[in-house]
Amino acid sequence: MGRKLLLEHANIEGIASYDVYRKNGGYRSVEKALKTMTPDEVVEEVKKSGLRGRGGAGFPTGMKWSFLAKPEGVPRYLLCNADESEPGTFKDRYLMEKIPHLLIEGMITSSFALGANQSYIYIRGEYMYVLRILEKAIAEAYANGWLGKNILGSGYNLDLAVSPGAGAYICGEETALIESLEGKRGNPRIKPPFPAVKGLWGCPTVVNNVETIAAVVPIVNDGGDEYAKIGIGKSTGTKLISASGNIRKPGVYEIELGISVDEFLNSEEWCGGMKNGKRLKACVPGGSSVPILPHFLVTKTAAGEDRLMSYESLADGGFATGSMLGSGGFIVYDEDQCIVRNTWNFTRFYHHESCGQCSPCREGTGWMEKVLHRLEYGHGKMEDIDLLWDIQRKIEGNTICPLGDAAAWPVAAAIRHFREEFEWHVNEPQACMQRNYGLVAEKVFAPASV
Amino acid sequence: MSAETTHSQIAFPQETLAEVNRILGLFPEDNKKSALLRVLHIAQAEFGWLDVPVMDYVARLLHINPVEVYEVATFYSMYDTKPVGKVKLEVCRTGPCMIEGAEKIVKYIEDKLGIKDGETTADGVFTLKTVECLGACGYAPMLQAGEQFHEHLTEEKVDALIEKYRANPRANYMGM
Ligand SMILES: Cc1cc2nc3c(=O)[nH]c(=O)nc-3n(C[C@H](O)[C@H](O)[C@H](O)COP(=O)(O)O)c2cc1C
Ligand code: SF4
Ligand code: FES
């Protein structure tokens, strides 16, 4: 059994209520921070912990916090990103539903560290029932003196509220989130200025993922050094993984970073191996935006080393033979799944979710969706594969926000690793409507050409 | 928009207005517009869908221009600016749900209710809509009805939930 820092108490009866949460050690981090530490000392512990943002990009949280501008007399805001819309990702919902007070506690301790007196949790509109759970927990926290004026007699004031989105993946992007929280369309802003300087209502703002903020609780309780002992290298601590697809035991798991992918995928403690005795075909290890890995690169790197569940190991080999930990949305495909269909499905998603501000993203995703659709339905031409390659290359890096990249990478990776399967769809337009291609053959890489 | 489907008498009941005021109170004095998304959810729950008079009413409540409301109502996929059934069955069709049989579930509902994706049953109870990932990928296939998640769907489960909502279309709303 690995150590659990976030979900340790998740299965205790009644843990969603204040009393049970408090009895199990809840709100200790707030007591410790407000009574014995300065805000900068809390930031220092987070820096020492090596915690990296759990929303997808993996940016060091302590460093992000230290970038926050602190002009005199201007309010600062902490926003929690609970938009969770990356396909394959459902961990934040689990955490908020099971232990809502852990997030509230993390918000209080983190807001104190940043000197924010008003903080918000922005949650996707489809999670309305979770919003109600959070509002109940917030009301309990107010009633017990953890929120409001002069918390624990420390002189520190904090108000916390939840606000919903209304169905838009793009609002997970931090500047789109801010726009949406201001009551506008979720159009990402051009950066700079960064939210750390000009965010919500033009004030300095930090946006962090639900899991990132929850992790601040054990970091403050046990110290950043203790947290950093867990994990491997620059991948410290534990990580929530949302496991889905053709595995025996899909669900949300908390792992110590650095366990092997093989163990995560195949042991009884986690995914429990492939369902129905099927063979592994591919895996998207970090949510729909990250490159797909063919079966022979899932548990091993191209160099033949064990692939680990860590930021570095999953990225080993770059995009030629690696992928990313991303949001921890671990999607597993068995030999019966069609890569062309899956790529078309994901591309349709990005096209649907593009906010439409930049033409490479708006037009490119639509174009890719059309080409993938005709390939999947047996009307594709061989040139279409190169066309797709060309379009995705023209999107990547040429847009206001990273949604463009997120749409381009899955297409590039699918072609890079599964080109034969795309070609088969062109060569066998009838057969591809009746059966699937099967497994990809192992091959030797020539990364230079891609 | 026909006369029957347009909301002519627009006003929240007293307790809903109290809830709107509570939500306005969550934001600083100059930034009440931030309540817009939440208030539109409430308006949609109250009136079924967002027609122009409803959006104009919301604009008056928040002291903003009607166009600021229209912009938002048409951007976000959860808002209906056309009439829909009392219960929306929103089936996730994205990758992880697709590989666990979402397409079959959609087909089953289409056949059972005699409607296609995006359509509403003649009795006005059900609208079927395919949507993108709802954060339940490990419990696929799934659909959302109102605020309720229905996961690990089978044909039997679909039968049961359709029966439940036919009997009580409001069973999917948990409150405001
Ligand atoms: C299109 C897009 C969608 C995103 N969706 C989410 C999301 O749902 N949740 C999230 O925490 N971060 C999401 N992010 C990342 C955020 O922009 C931001 O980096 C993150 O919330 C920072 O928090 P962290 O440092 O704690 O990870 C998204 C980014 C992009 C470009
Ligand atoms: S990249 Fe796409 S989603 Fe991002 S701002 Fe441009 S059009 Fe909008
Ligand atoms: S893919 Fe259907 S809920 Fe995520």
For residue A288, pLDDT beyond 50: yes
Are B92 and B70 members of one domain?
no
Q: Do A86 and B37 touch (CB under 8 A)?
A: no
Q: Is the ipTM of this complex over 0.85?
A: yes
The answer as to whether B166 is a domain residue is yes
Are B63 and B134 members of one domain? no
Say if B3 falls within a structural domain. Answer: no
A298/A281 Cα distance (integer angstroms) = 9
pLDDT confidence of residue A441 = 74
* Residue B174, pLDDT above cutoff 80: no
Residue of A nearest to B174 (CA): A129
Would you state the pLDDT for residue A227? 98
Give residue B8's pLDDT band: very low, low, confident or very high (50, 70, 90): low
3-state secondary structure A88-131: CCCHHHHHHHHCHHHHHHHHHHHHHHHCCCEEEEEECHHHHHHH
Handedness of CA A45, A51, A52, A54 (dihedral sign): negative
CATH of the domain at B135: 3.40.30.10
Nearest to B34 among A88, A182, A345 (CB): A182
Tell me what the pLDDT averaged over chain B comes to: 93
Residues of B (157-176) whose Cβ lies below 8 Å from A: 174-175
In a domain, B8, yes or no: no
Give yes or no for residue A276 having a pLDDT over 80: yes
Note the pLDDT of residue A450.
42
B35: closest CA of chain A, how far (Å): 6
- Listed by number, the residues of chain B in 77-136 with a beta carbon closer than 8 Å to a beta carbon of chain A are 77-79, 93-96, 98-100, 131-136
Same domain, B31 and B54: yes
B117 and B155 share one domain: yes
Last residue of a domain, one of B41, B75, B109: B75
User: Is residue B167 located within the same domain as residue B116?
Assistant: yes
CA distance A208 to A215: 11
Q: Does the beta carbon of A402 sit less than 6 angstroms from any atom of ligand 1?
A: yes
- Would residue B100 count as lying in a domain? yes
The predicted model gives B155-160 an average pLDDT of 98
Overall CATH class of domain A339-444: mainly alpha
Taking the CA of A51 as reference, the closest ligand is 1
pLDDT tens digits, residue range A52-67?
999 999 999 999 999 9
B22 to chain A: closest CA residue: A161
Predicted local confidence at residue A449, as pLDDT: 44
Residue B93 is assigned to a structural domain of this protein: yes
Indicate yes or no: CB of B138 within 8 angstroms of CB of A165. Answer: no
Banded model confidence at residue A447, pLDDT cuts 50, 70, 90:
very low
A346 CA to centre of own chain = 16
> Is residue B64 domain-shared with residue B138, that is, in the same domain?
no
The alpha-helical segments, DSSP class H, found in B49-125 are 52-62, 66-75, 95-98, 102-113
pLDDT tens-digit profile of A209-254?
999 999 999 999 999 999 999 999 999 999 999 999 999 999 999 9
Q: Which domain holds residue B91?
A: 87-172
Lookup: tokens for A257: 């970073």
pLDDT for the residue numbered A419: 96
Quick check: is B1 in a domain?
no
Pairing outcome for strands A231-232 and A235-236: antiparallel
- This prediction has a pTM of 0.96
The residues spanned by each domain of chain A are: 18-229, 232-334, 339-444
Residues A133/A97, Cβ–Cβ less than 8 Å:
yes
- Same domain? For B28 and B68 the reply is yes
Residues B71 and B108 in one domain: no
Q: How many structural domains does chain B have?
A: 2
The pLDDT of A164-172, averaged and rounded, is 98
Domain A232-334 CATH (choose: 3.90.1150.10, 3.40.1050.10, 3.40.50.1100, 3.10.20.600): 3.10.20.600
CATH assignment of A18-229, given 3.40.50.20, 3.40.50.1000, 1.10.260.40, 3.40.50.11540? Answer: 3.40.50.11540
User: Closest ligand to B131 CA?
Assistant: 3
> Bridge-partner residues for B72, per DSSP?
none
Q: What is the separation of C-alpha A79 from the centre of its chain, rounded to a whole number of angstroms?
A: 16
In a domain, B5, yes or no: no
Choose the final residue of a domain: B35, B55, B75: B75
Q: Could you tell me the pLDDT band of residue A2, with boundaries at 50, 70 and 90?
A: confident
Between chains, do A118 and B38 touch, taking CB under 8 Å as contact? no
Cβ proximity of A44 and A225 under 8 Å? no
| pLDDT tens, position by position, A133-158 | 999 999 999 999 999 999 999 999 99
Work out the average pLDDT over A116-145: 98
Residue A269 has pLDDT above 70, yes or no: yes
Please say if the pLDDT value at position B11 is more than 60: yes
pLDDT at A98 over 50: yes
Would A18-229 and A232-334 be classified into the same CATH topology?
Answer: no
Q: Is B132 in contact with A84 (Cβ distance < 8 A)?
A: no
CA distance A128 to chain B (A): 6
Cβ atoms of residues A154 and A109 within 8 Å: no
B99 neighbourhood in chain A, CB within 8 Å: 245-246, 333, 337, 342
Instruction: Please report which confidence band the pLDDT of residue B172 belongs to, taking 50, 70 and 90 as the band edges.
Output: confident
- Dump the DSSP string for A194-235: PTTTS-GGGS-EEEEEHHHHHHHHHHHHH-HHHHHHSEETTE
At residue A443, the pLDDT reads 66
Q: What is the mean pLDDT of chain A?
A: 96
The residue-averaged pLDDT of A382-400 equals 96
The string of pLDDT tens digits covering residues B56-110 is 999 999 999 999 999 999 999 999 999 999 999 999 999 999 999 999 999 999 9
- B14-24 vs B36-47: helix crossing angle, rounded to 10: 170
Contacts of A342 in chain B (CB under 8 A): 95, 98-99
**Which strands make up the sheet holding A77-82, listed edge to edge?**
A159-164, A118-123, A77-82, A205-209
At A442 the pLDDT is 72
In a domain, B7, yes or no: no
Chain A residues close to B40, C-beta within 8 Å: 166
Residues of A in contact with B20 (CB under 8 A): none
CATH code (residue B58): 1.10.10
